[in-house]
Every structure is written in C-alpha cells, then in structure tokens.
Amino acid sequence: MSSDERITHLRRFSGVAGWIVGSLALAWILFHVVTAGVGTLPNYQQRAVHLGGALFFVFLLYQGRPRFPRLQLFLLDLPCACACVVLLGYVFVNYDAIVMSNWYVNEAIEKVFGVSLFLLLLEAVRRTLGWMFVGLITLFCCYAYFGPYLPDPFGHRGLSLERMIYVFYLGNNGVLGTLMGISATVVALFLILGALLNVSGAGDTFIRIAMRLGGRLRGGAGMVAVIGSAFMGMINGSTVANVTSTGVLTIPLMRRLGFNRNLAGSIEAVASTGGQIMPPIMGPGAFLMAELLGIPYLEVVKAALVPSVLFFTALLLGVYLMARRYGLEALPPQLIPTRRKAFEPWAMANLLIPIMVLLFFILQHYTIQTAVFWSLMSILFIMTISSLLPQRQRVTEVSDRSRDLAGLEAPSPRPKEASVQGRVAELLRATYDGLYSASLSVVYIAMIIAAAQVMVSVINLTGLGVTLSQVILSIGGDYLIVSLLLTMALAIVLGMGMPTPAAYAVGAAVLAPPLLNLGFDRLPSHLFLYFFASVSAITPPVAAGIFAAIAISGGTFLGTARYALTLACSLFLLPFLFILNPELTLAGDPLTIVLAVLSAMVGIGFLSVAAIGQLGESMRLLPRLMVGAGAIVMVTPGLWFDMVGMVGLLAGLWLHRVWFSAGCFNKSPNARKRTGMTR
C-alpha cells in the first residue's frame, strides 16, 4: 500500500470522538517519551504497551474501503481494538509470572489469547501493509511447521502448533522479541524527534541551507533536493517518510525549473535513500547496528563516513551531469537566500541545538533513549522560547518564494499583534500536530517491525540463517564475489517494502552468518547488509521509495526507477568496496586509507560518468563501456588493479575525445534538451 493510499483511507474523527482519539494518541506517544527520560519499563511490559497501542490505533484508524464505515467501526473495529489491548494487557499484568515460567502460566487461556493475537496481527498487517506482508508471514509460519517434509538443505525438525503459539505470544523470540524492543525504544523515539523537528521549522531551515549551498550550481533544484533530503533522511530512518516530507517541496520545485517528472522523482528517492547512511546520525539503523554488534555507536559512524561521502559526491556529480545532458540551469537568483537568511542564528539554533544535544549525550556514553529524550526537550524548549518572545520578522521569504514556485501554499505568517495567549495556543497546537503525526508514523512502523519480528523468529528457531549460509557458500565456492552477489540479492529481496532499520534487522539475522563464515570482519559485514537494506527502497519490483516519489511527481514507475538506478549505481558498488577493502571504513594505517579513498573516489566518480553517458557531450557506447569497466577495475583492492583500471579509463576518455573532435555525434544542446524533457 502506497503512502498516499495509507493516508487517504485513515478514518477521520471529529467532535468529542476526535478529542478522545487525539488524547489517547497523545498519551500513548508521551509514554515513549516519558519512559525514555525516567527509565523504560521491563522488556515485556514496554513492548506490550508499544505493540498494544499500535494495534489499537490500526483498528481504530485504518478502515480500508468499507461499504458501511459506521457499522464496521462499532461491530468490528472497536471490538478488535479493545481485544488487542486486553491480549497485550494480559502480558503486561502477568509479566513476573511469564518471566519465571518456561511455558504457559495458564495454558488454556494463553493458547486462545495467542491464536487471537496472531489473527489480529495478520489483519492489522493487511490493513497497513497489504497482502504481500500477510503472505510473507504465512509463508514463514508454514516453513516452520512443515520443516520435516521439506527436502534438504531446507528441511528441519519443525515446530508444533502448540510450540509456535507459545513462542509467538510469550516467548523471547516471539512478537515481543528484540526487534519489537528496538521499535518501542529507539525507532519510536527517532520518529518523534523527526516529527517535532519538522513542526519546529527545521525542515525549512534545511531547505534554505541547501538552496544556499547548491542553488548556484547547474541543476540547482536537484542539488537542493540532494542536500536537503540528506539532512532530513539521517534523522527519520525511513526512505518513504523522507520522500513524503521533503519531496512535497523539492519535487514540484524541480518540475517547475525544467526537470522531467521521472528525473525529479528519482533524484528525491535516491537522495532520501542515501540519507539513511548519512553520518553523524544515520537514523535509528546505526544504533540498532551498534546494539546488535555490542560496539560503541561512534564506531559505526566512523565506518560509514567515507562510503557516505563517496556516495553523495557521486550523486551530486550525477545530478550535475544530468543537468548538462538536458540543459538544466541553476536556481533563479531570487530564490537563492543570502548568507544571513540561510544561516539566520535563531533558525540555526532551532536546527543544531537538538542535534548537538543528541550527540553530546551519546558521546558521554548515555543510553540512546536518554540522548533522544534530552534532544526532544531541547526542541520543546526552543519552540517555547520562540513563541513567548516578542514577535520578530521570521526568515521565511525565500522558502515562501520557493513554495510559490513549487505550486504550494506558503504558511501564513503569525500576526504581529498576536497576544501571549495566542502564541502559547499556537505552540500547543504545533506540538500536538507534531506528536499526533509521530503517532501515525510509529503505528505504521510498528506493524512493519511486528511482521519482521515474526519472520526473524522463524529464522532463529528453524536455523534458516545457517541453512542459507551453507547454500551461499556451496554456490559461491571459492569465488567471493559470487557469494557477495548472492548475499546482496537476498538482502535486497528481504528488505523490500520495509523501512531501513527493519530491513537491516531481517538481513542481519539471515545473512550475517554467511558473511562471517566467508571470513569478513563483523562491522564491514553488517554495514554491507545495512547499505543494501537501504537500497531495497529504490530497487524494483517493490521500490517503496520510488512509489512514494511518483505519487508526488506524477511520473511513471519504470521511467523513475531507470533514472534512480542510474543515479544510485555507486550505492550498489560501494558495499563491495568496503567489505573487500576495509581501509574505506577507516581501519588500517593512514597512508593505506588515503590511497584507498583516492582510488575509490576516482573510480566512483567515473562510474557515474559512464552510467549517465555525459562528459562535456554525450558519450557513445564503446567509450562508456571502457570508462565504466576501468572505473570498476580501479576500485578493486590492489595496486595492479588501480593501474589496469586507470589505463582502461584513460583509453575510454581518449576515445571519447577523438570521436568528439571528429564530430561523431550530435552536438546540438537543444535537441538533447528536448529529448530529456519528453522522457
């Protein structure tokens, strides 16, 4: 189900009912904030409140397309919502007895409760995520049950129905397992952080900074999309959420300035995907990786630094080359903010203080929950000060002009004569809007993670990860690259349709053992899986990030996906580079690291040139192939590979220059521009 469909079919409440639902959503989301500050509840209790609330709001808000909405609400949805609260409330109340027991506490009741919760979860997943995820859960459960009847190497002892019900409802590997714990703490808090940053005006500040930094370059609107989406994407941890938040401005802006629909959507989708790997925050996925590996968070950030810089360098180069190819220019001068307006002190404080508070507490070795809690408090403090201070002229002119150009309604300025009471009311409304928006995001992500938790549980209980490890090793044999290609394909398939943290968690459960058995280090192996978990958002056939982008751009799926895969070619290559050459994760002696980074930068840059086929003028096929092959060989670890790759690369460039001088292709920029605009 696309993001647009999901929002369109939410049930709307008004009057007293709306006040009650809003209050419940606010109380539920504040539960996550308060427990982050004063200390989380015991594992099962924290997770039970998180999942119980998410299921409650799914049945209350996600109505699908009912023929009789009011009848469905009272006869089906309300009873199901209350049943979810009862089923998980039972776990909350009986937590001590469940922990002390290795089996059912009250077998008859808990079997009924377990089956009921499983069926309700399937229906909740269907309403939020669609039939594909229901099919995946069913397939994994069938694999767990029919294990004894499957051929080698996929056969196993199997799980009885009784065992499956117990594990699902009460077991450590059940629906309240580790992934749900991460969702109830880290992921939920980051979604709340992103929502509050958005209503505080940080999103507009990101866009103004991006306009200042990239607006003067050729293809300036695309540069703005890349820079702005990179900033926002590193916080929210979901490609789709990032596309829908920043894309509503950047995609129409690109369209009005000459980008075709498919290219505009693809730039936003790829940039939002890259935001997931952008230090210093990298969304909740980096914290999840640090927790799974048992290493400091800063080790993950350090390892991802060079690959992320290489990717965004290649993406900015790709946007520039696309702009040259289609004759696209920089932003109009009136849209580019002055330095004072782009880096206005109060707006920068609003943006930077929460991030600095977050990083400060992390560097002081506080828990992630504590760090995010104080970051949230800093946002609320700044919003409060901003509302209570006497009215001053806000720096919105540039963002308002860009909204006008994008065809969007600019937010109305606050009247100067507004009273203190009016400003306080505005503050409370903005805070409520941010928290309610966060509650919808947390509900949706919780359903994805609940589905992923069931699949990961089956993987752990049946030994499917070990089985796939053996299969990959047997197929790949002595050829590491074949094994890595198989791992890449499986990581992308397993992550399709999921936000990056959940996709990475499933991939780590299944595919980390094969990589470790192949002799790769733990951190590069997990980073390899994390990158491809991110890439799954723009990889057909599911490509959730592409669908989110075309919902805004109006482009076609195949056209947008083609541009996206071209622009993201470096993102597919980079994981192979740093897993085969750990120096790119800043591990090793400084000289080796510098040489590896320089080699990778040249190779990645010319790979983008070959993929787009533009260097001054359009390149013909043979020079493109030579440059592309030389770039790939050059980034392969080893001095000889660097030398051979450089020879191939220079030969391709020489051939392109010779053919260009001989006039072997059309040099008309107008013809090229017309071709680009009709694609």
Q: Minimum mean pLDDT among 186-200, 408-422, 490-504: which range? A: 408-422
More confident residue, 603 or 619: 603
Is a pLDDT exceeding 50 seen at residue 5? no
Both tokens assigned to 100? 């002390």
**pLDDT computed for residue 637 by the predictor:** 80
pLDDT band with cut points at 50, 70 and 90 for residue 2:
very low
**pLDDT computed for residue 163 by the predictor:** 87
DSSP assignment, residue 12? P
**pLDDT computed for residue 403 by the predictor:** 52
Q: Are strands 617-618 and 614-615 parallel, antiparallel or unpaired?
A: antiparallel
Residues 626, 631, 636, 639, CA torsion sign: positive
Q: Give the residue-averaged pLDDT of 481-487.
A: 90
Question: Do residues 571 and 273 touch, judged by C-beta distance below 8 A?
Answer: yes
Q: Minimum mean pLDDT among 349-353, 410-414, 475-479, 605-609: which range? A: 410-414
**pLDDT computed for residue 267 by the predictor:** 95
Is a pLDDT exceeding 90 seen at residue 564? yes
pLDDT digits (tens, 9 = 90+) for 264-303: 999 999 999 998 898 888 877 888 888 888 888 889 999 9
pLDDT digits (tens, 9 = 90+) for 23-70: 999 999 999 999 999 888 888 899 999 999 999 999 999 886 667 777
Residue 62's beta-bridge partner residues?
Answer: 10
Distance separating alpha carbons of residues 193 and 622, to the nearest angstrom: 49
DSSP assignment, residue 392? -
Closest CA to 436 of 27, 31, 127: 27
Q: Looking up tokens 């009272």, which residue turns up?
A: 74
Output the average pLDDT for the chain: 84
Residues 6+ apart with CB under 8 A from 130: 1
Closest CA to 264 of 559, 619, 54: 559
**pLDDT computed for residue 4 by the predictor:** 41
pLDDT band with cut points at 50, 70 and 90 for residue 671:
very low
pTM of the model: 0.82
Distance separating alpha carbons of residues 415 and 232, to the nearest angstrom: 29
Is a pLDDT exceeding 50 seen at residue 7? no
Residue 615's beta-bridge partner residues?
Answer: 617
**pLDDT computed for residue 103 by the predictor:** 61
Distance separating alpha carbons of residues 545 and 536, to the nearest angstrom: 9
Q: Looking up tokens 């936003």, which residue turns up?
A: 268
Question: Do residues 186 and 446 touch, judged by C-beta distance below 8 A?
Answer: no
